[in-house]
Amino acid sequence: MSSAQPCIHCHQVTGRPVMVASVEQNSGAGWAGYACPPCARHYRTAGDLAAALAGHRQVCSHCHLTGADCPTAAALREAHEHAAAAGAER
């Protein structure tokens, strides 16, 4: 059920959406959306993405049983690699 989603950052439709979310500090209003793997690093840190991937693999029957990445895990892994590479550049 991994459907394509428009990226909230670059507005390109991506077949590997990564869920990102934010909460406004003042109003308490929040939003959730999807970003493509290269853009997810603007919303989530490399550490956060690594934790999300590790947590996903513990609860996802596909990842857990087959040891291979499902589309969600593949998107998180790709997003983490982008975030880690961007962090290493600084």
The CA distance from 62 to 45, in Å, is 25
Q: Give min distance, CB of 90 to Zn ion, in A.
A: 20
Q: Give min distance, CB of 15 to Zn ion, in A.
A: 12
Nearer to Zn ion, 3 or 25 (CB): 3
Please give the full DSSP string across 11-70, using - where no structure is assigned.
--EESS-EEEEEE-TTT--EEEEEE-HHHHTTTS-HHHHHHHHHHHHHH-HHHHHH-S--
Residues found near Zn ion in the complex (CB under 5 A): 7, 9-10, 36, 39, 60, 62-63, 70, 73
Beta bridge partners of 6: 13
Nearer to Zn ion, 9 or 81 (CB): 9
Nearer to Zn ion, 23 or 64 (CB): 64
Q: Give min distance, CB of 46 to Zn ion, in A.
A: 17
